[in-house]
Chain A
C-alpha cells in the first residue's frame, strides 16, 4: 500500500502527465466551478455575517452584547456547554476504551447506537424530551408534584444539548484508538503500571489531538444548537434563551445588526474550530511522515 502511494506521488511529480491529468483548460474550468460553488454557498454567507454585524458601526456591535438579555443568553450558552461537553467527553473516552481495547460481540451495533443522535433530527431530539418530561409526558405528573421543571427551563436545554452532542468525542476517538491498537498499553502493564497510570502516561499522549478536536467540535455544536433547544426552551427572554435563540428573536424583530453581531461571535467560534482542526490534521500528517521516515 505504501509503495502505491509513493509511486503515485512520484509519477505526478516527475510530470508523467498524460495519463492522470486533464488539459489545462479542463483543469481551470473544474477549479473555477468548485470555487464558484463554494463561494456561493460558503464564502458569501461568511462575509455577509461580518459585514452586516458591523454595518451600523462598532457601537451597535458592542451594545448587542451589553444588553442584559444577550448577557443572560451568553451565560446560559456557557453553562450548557460546561455541562454537556465534560459529560460527553468522559463518555467518549470510556466508550472508545471499551470498544477499541477489547473484543466483544455486538461491537458494531454498539457503535451504530452511539452514532444514533447524528441521524435523529434536532427537532425530534427536542420532542423526545418533551414527551418524557413535559406536563403531559411520562414523568410530567411526578415532576409537577415535586415542583421540578425540566421542559421550558434550563435543565431541558442542557439535556437536549447533551443528546445532540452525544457522539462527537466518541466518534473521534474510536477509529483513532482502534488504529493505534493496544500493544503500548500491554507493555505498560508488563512493566507494572496501574490502570490510571496506563491511561495517563500511555493512552492520553497518543490520543490527545484527536480528543482535543472531538472536544472542540462538541463544544461548537453545544453552543450553536438551535432546533432541539428551540423545542424545549419555551423562549423565555432572559431566562431560557441561548445565543442561537436570542439571535432568532433579534432577527425576527428586524434588529439585523444585533442579530448578526451575535451570529458573528458564533461564527468566530466555528472558525477557531476549523483552524484548530487544520492544525491538528497538519500535525498528525507530519507525525505520520516522520514515523515513515524512521521506518
Chain B
C-alpha cells in the first residue's frame, strides 16, 4: 500500500492525463452512447417492443444476423484452431508470410473485402464459377453473408488461440505420452481443456464482431427484405425513412447484445487466466 502511494506521488502528470482521458472518453464515447438510450426512452415500453422486437422484418433481420454470425464464428473456431496449430507447431515455407496475412482483415477496409468477396463468389467469379455446376450460389444469399463474416472474424479466432498454444507446457504432453496416451487422447484430454477458454473467447469475439459488421456484408448480401437483410442495414433503412425511433430501438437491442458479449468475453478471459 505504501509503495502504491509512493508511486502516485513520484511520477508527474496523473491529474492532467487522467483528466484528459476522462473528458475525452465522455465526450466522444459515453455521452453519444447515452444519447441513444435517452432517445429510445422517449418511447413507451409497448412502442419500443413493437419497433424493436415484434416487427417481423426486424425479427428476420436479427435471426439472419445472429445465425450468420454464429455459423461464421463456428467455422472460424474450427479453422482458426487449425491455422493457429500449424503456425505454432510446424515449420513450413512461407510461414512468416502466412502469419502476417492473418491480420489482413484488421487492416483491410470492410468495403474493399466486401466487393472483392462478392466478385469472387458471384456466379461469374473465379470461385462462384466453380460452385455453380453444383447448384451452390454464395453471393447474394445468406451463405454469402457467412463467407464475409468468416473473413472479418478470422484474425480474432487465430490470435486468441495462438498465444495460449505457445504458452502450453510441453511437459504435460510428454507426461501424457509416456503414460501411454495416444496423440488423439493427448489432444482431447490435455491440449483441449487448457486452450478451450481461448477458443471460446475467440469464438465470442468473432461472433460479436459478426453481429455488428456492415461494410463487407452489405455488398455480398443482396439486401432483400426478410431474406438477406441484416440488422445493421435495417437501422440505415429506418434512418432513410426518417424513422429515428425505429432505428434507435434496433440500435438499443444490438448495443445491449454487445454489452453482454463484452461481459462474456471478460468472464472467459478470467477463466482462461485461472488455467495458467
Q: How long is the Cα–Cα vector from A101 to B21 in the complex, in angstroms?
A: 14
B112-141 interface code vs A (CB 8 A; 1 in, 0 out):
111111011000011100000000000000
Question: A19-B178, A273-B107 are known contacts. Are A44 and B212 too (CB-CB below 8 A)?
Answer: no
Question: A128-B33, A278-B96 are known contacts. Are A247 and B108 too (CB-CB below 8 A)?
Answer: no
| A277 interfacial by beta-carbon distance below 8 Å | yes
| A149 interfacial by beta-carbon distance below 8 Å | no
Are B33 and A49 within 8 A (Cβ)? Answer: no
Which of the 9-residue segments A56-64, A66-74, A92-100, A204-212 touches chain B?
Answer: A92-100
| A226 interfacial by beta-carbon distance below 8 Å | yes
B100's partner among A114, A266, A275 (CB-CB below 8 A) is A275
B215's partner among A4, A41, A195, A244 (CB-CB below 8 A) is A244
A94 to chain B, nearest CB (A): 4
Question: A30-B86, A121-B211, A225-B109 are known contacts. Are A113 and B30 too (CB-CB below 8 A)?
Answer: yes
- B-side binding surface: helix, strand, loop or mixed? helix
Q: How long is the Cα–Cα vector from A128 to B239 in the complex, in angstroms?
A: 11
| A224 interfacial by beta-carbon distance below 8 Å | yes
**Which residues on the A side are within 8 Å of B87 (C-beta)?**
34
Q: How long is the Cα–Cα vector from A129 to B117 in the complex, in angstroms?
A: 30
Query: Number of B interface residues, CB 8 Å?
Result: 96
**Which residues on the A side are within 8 Å of B221 (C-beta)?**
none
Q: List 30 A-B contacts (CB under 8 A).
A: A7-B170, A20-B89, A20-B173, A31-B92, A42-B102, A42-B151, A44-B120, A44-B127, A46-B104, A48-B116, A48-B119, A94-B17, A94-B21, A103-B7, A119-B208, A119-B261, A121-B254, A124-B232, A127-B247, A131-B32, A163-B29, A166-B29, A224-B109, A226-B109, A226-B214, A227-B213, A227-B232, A247-B115, A248-B111, A251-B219
Given contact pairs A30-B86, A138-B38, A223-B109, a sample of 6 additional A-B residue pairs in the complex whose CB atoms are under 8 Å apart: A94-B16, A94-B18, A116-B29, A124-B254, A131-B36, A274-B104
